[in-house]
Structure 1
Amino acid sequence: MPIKTVVYLDVLLLTNFLLAYFLLLAAGALSGQRAGFGRMLAGSGLAALSALFLFAPPQPYPVQAAYKIATALGITAAAFGRRSLRRLLTAACWYAALNIALAGVVMLVMLNTGVRWLDAANLTVYLHISPLLLLGLCGVCCAAVELGLRLLSRREPTVKTAGLEFELCGQLVRLRAALDTGCHLQDPLTCLPVLVVSYPDAKARLPAAADAFLAQWFAGQDRAEPPPGARLRLVPCGTAAEKGLLPGFAVQGISLITEKGVLGLGRSAVVFAPRSFGSTDYEALYGSDFM
């Protein structure tokens, strides 16, 4: 006598909703994305409804595969948005991989407990196990993702800073500088490496005359008169985003502040960048050939 399976629709929808919520959290963590609570509810709700395909008449395999791909993209798009196709595909792939991993864990448990009942239709599997056990196994998968991310996350190396001082417009300026191995700017007149200073980060420490000149320059007044007695330097600078000239000044010498005293580094130039370096630990950058 054939055994009939009774499926409680409310339990099926709620279980799939909760499973999708946790799997979307893990997929977001793996793809470097964070979704708002409302979007997570929308994605989880769509995932729960997609499970109803289990009860549809048997479809050809191309239709089943297309449905699975479309629902994975739709679920992740509902959760994380569609602003970037690459990020959407990344999240969808992680979401699909986590679903497969969860199914593998459940199958492993079933094989080791002697329970082998399942229903499959249209590439959708219904497992005859307790919903609480299924949620617990989903939590195990999500915890494994979180643990792996914590163990494999790269720690940012400690930035070593050095105290530097130089005289500008008759005033002694002291700044903290960090090594940037990609900094190779040179004074076009002397061919000596220069110190790159963030104007927004260091403006409070600059002489008033130099500050006024740089403010006018970065406001678009590139014909502003430099401070009296200051020797203007314009250093070409190119990045992946733009190219331009950085204003600066020639200085008699930059000195390194050490525990044993002040060490002179010789004459050089100081140029100013219009943007912050994004750190409170330093206001300037120097290349490996500076010191």
Structure 2
Amino acid sequence: MYLDVLLLTNFLMAYFLLLAAGALSGQRGGFVRMLAGSGLAAMSSLILFAPPQPYLVQVVYKITTALAITAAAFGWRSKRRLVTAACWYAALNIALAGAVLLAVLRTGTRAADTANLTVYLRVSPLLLLALSGVCCGAVDLGLRLLMRRDAPIKTVGLEFELCGQPIRLRAAPDTGCHLRDPITCLPVLVVSYPDAKARLPGPAVDFLEQWFAGATQADPPPGARLRLVPCGTAADRTLLPGFAVPGIGLITEKGVLGLGRSAVVFAPRSFGSTAYEALYGNDFL
């Protein structure tokens, strides 16, 4: 058994297995972090040369090194994600060991060294690396085949006038959007203020900035009719500021089609998409 071959082989094997564990746990470590995790994994194999330890010490060592290796590769800010990555890493190691044993049985090789829950089989390092690559490739292929592809988001173009300025936004459907104008009882358009800020007129921006900063007694823009729409979420209940508008129209190939909706409200947070700036409910269009 050559120490340099042992370390290099375990380093490269760990790199492949960490790639697969990261894919299965939804994490991706930087290149330097992956090298650090692989290096730590290679060093952990040196327990093969240590005197036999009590079984409990061997188990604790294996759990500790698995957590340390995955923490080095992916970080440790989230304990749940760390444990998930460590479990996948351990499972892949077991799967690789099974593949190696199968290859050993096929070839008739019997020579093996075991110590402290670590097994060293006298097989070609190239075979170990090839099987590690197969494990990583199988995980990647499986994720690609089983990955659920989200349907493309359907958006529409909407137009309305605010403070004398025409505004055009992209809107997406949201089945959980049931907000209504408390005066007309008609569905309203919910606009993300951060996403649409650049398209809004200055007076409206000034008012909304003050409102979301806590100045709920601020005067609305001249000529604008303020609307306060109750909004309840899983976290809290609040009032969203908005305005009555002359009318909201759907932009089509043949022109603008009036929808009979006459109010927009603004949410303080981004919707997290560059495809749209507003949301509407099922009964809006």
CA contact (8 A) 1:252 1:266 kept: no
CA contact (8 A) 2:17 2:132 kept: yes
Residue identity in the other structure for 1:118 = A
Displacement after TM superposition at 1:161 (Å): 0.8
CA contact (8 A) 1:175 1:284 kept: yes
Q: Which residue pairs with 2:229 in the alignment?
A: 235
Q: How far apart in 2 are the matches of 1:71 and 1:277?
A: 40
Name the SS for the 1:265 alignment partner. Answer: strand
Q: How far apart in 2 are the matches of 1:155 and 1:67?
A: 40
Q: How far apart in 2 are the matches of 1:19 and 1:78?
A: 16
Q: Which residue pairs with 1:84 in the alignment?
A: 78
Name the SS for the 1:253 alignment partner. Answer: strand
Name the SS for the 2:266 alignment partner. Answer: strand
Q: Which residue of the other structure, out of 125, 133, 145, is the alignment partner of 2:127?
A: 133
Displacement after TM superposition at 1:135 (Å): 0.7
Name the SS for the 1:266 alignment partner. Answer: strand
Q: How far apart in 2 are the matches of 1:143 and 1:153?
A: 15
Displacement after TM superposition at 1:240 (Å): 4.0
Displacement after TM superposition at 1:129 (Å): 0.6
Q: Confirm or deny that 1:171 pairs with 2:165.
A: yes
Residue identity in the other structure for 1:121 = A
Residue identity in the other structure for 1:272 = F
Q: Confirm or deny that 1:52 pairs with 2:46.
A: yes
Deviations 1:54-98 (A, max 9, x none): 222333332222221121112112222221110110010010011
CA contact (8 A) 2:188 2:261 kept: no
Residue identity in the other structure for 2:162 = L
Name the SS for the 2:28 alignment partner. Answer: coil
Q: Which residue pairs with 2:90 in the alignment?
A: 96
CA contact (8 A) 1:165 1:175 kept: yes
Deviations 1:257-285 (A, max 9, x none): 22333322213310012233232322211
Q: Which residue pairs with 2:281 in the alignment?
A: 287
Q: How far apart in 1 are the matches of 2:57 and 2:204?
A: 69
Displacement after TM superposition at 1:241 (Å): 4.6
Displacement after TM superposition at 1:242 (Å): 4.9
CA contact (8 A) 2:12 2:129 kept: yes
Aligned residues with identical type, % of pairs: 80
Q: Which residue of the other structure, out of 15, 18, 21, is the alignment partner of 2:12?
A: 18
Q: Which residue pairs with 1:162 in the alignment?
A: 156
- Greater CA drift, 132-141 or 240-249: 240-249
Q: Which residue of the other structure, out of 64, 69, 72, is the alignment partner of 2:66?
A: 72
Q: Which residue of the other structure, out of 90, 100, 105, is the alignment partner of 1:111?
A: 105
Q: How far apart in 1 are the matches of 2:176 and 2:160?
A: 23
Displacement after TM superposition at 1:99 (Å): 0.3
Q: Which residue pairs with 2:215 in the alignment?
A: 221
Q: Normalising by structure 1, what TM-score?
A: 0.90
Residue identity in the other structure for 2:12 = L
Q: How far apart in 2 are the matches of 1:204 and 1:13?
A: 56
Displacement after TM superposition at 1:211 (Å): 2.8
In structure 2, relative to structure 1, the CA distance for the partners of 1:171 and 1:78 (3 Å cut) is: closer
* Structure 1 unaligned blocks of 5 or more: 1-6
Deviations 1:81-126 (A, max 9, x none): 2211101100100100110111111111122222233222221110
Q: Number of residue pairs matched?
A: 285
Q: Which residue of the other structure, out of 130, 146, 153, is the alignment partner of 2:140?
A: 146
- Greater CA drift, 92-101 or 163-172: 163-172
Displacement after TM superposition at 1:31 (Å): 1.1
Residue identity in the other structure for 1:126 = Y
